[in-house]
Amino acid sequence: EAGVTQSPRYAVLQEGQAVSFWCDPISGHDTLYWYQQPRDQGPQLLVYFRDEAVIDNSQLPSDRFSAVRPKGTNSTLKIQSAKQGDTATYLCASSLDGGMPETLYFGSGTRLTVL
């Protein structure tokens, strides 16, 4: 079984540039999460979907960040105008709703550096 796939692996930007991150979850997993993990901190939820619906995006900076999962499978997270404070690893995870225990399977992440 293939795991969660993310790309790109690394991204380096100047402030003000845009970037998109892509995630392919485990086949059949209906729930998809995007987390931001600054260095030496735990993952912090940005947004999560069940199928194509956004369940919680309350932590997503909506003025610059957006996330979609149009067909309930792959997902894209976009930063419109990056800031130095966005420097972090962006982790995608998927799970099966109702699975016990509900285990999140994480991708390898995209390590973003904003100069």
Partner 1 sequence: GQGVEQPDNLMSVEGTFARVNCTYSTSGFNGLSWYQQREGHAPVFLSYVVLDGLKDSGHFSTFLSRSNGYSYLLLTELQIKDSASYLCAVRDDSGSWQLIFGSGTQLTVMP
Structure tokens that stand for 20 in this block: 């998109």
Tokens 């003025």 -> residue: 63
101 near partner 1 (CB under 8 A): yes
What is the number of other CB atoms lying within 10 angstroms of the CB of residue 66?
16
Size of the site for partner 1 (CB under 8 A): 23
Q: Would you give the binding string for partner 1 spanning residues 10-49, x where CB under 8 A is met?
A: -----------------------x-x----xxxxxx--x-
Applying CB under 8 A, among 8, 12, 18, 55 the residue interacting with partner 1 is 55
Amino acid at the residue 63: D
Residue 46 in contact with residue 60, Cβ under 8 Å? yes
**Amino acid letter, 17:** Q
The residues that touch partner 1, with contacts defined as CB under 8 A, are 4, 33, 35, 40-45, 48, 55-56, 58, 91, 101-109
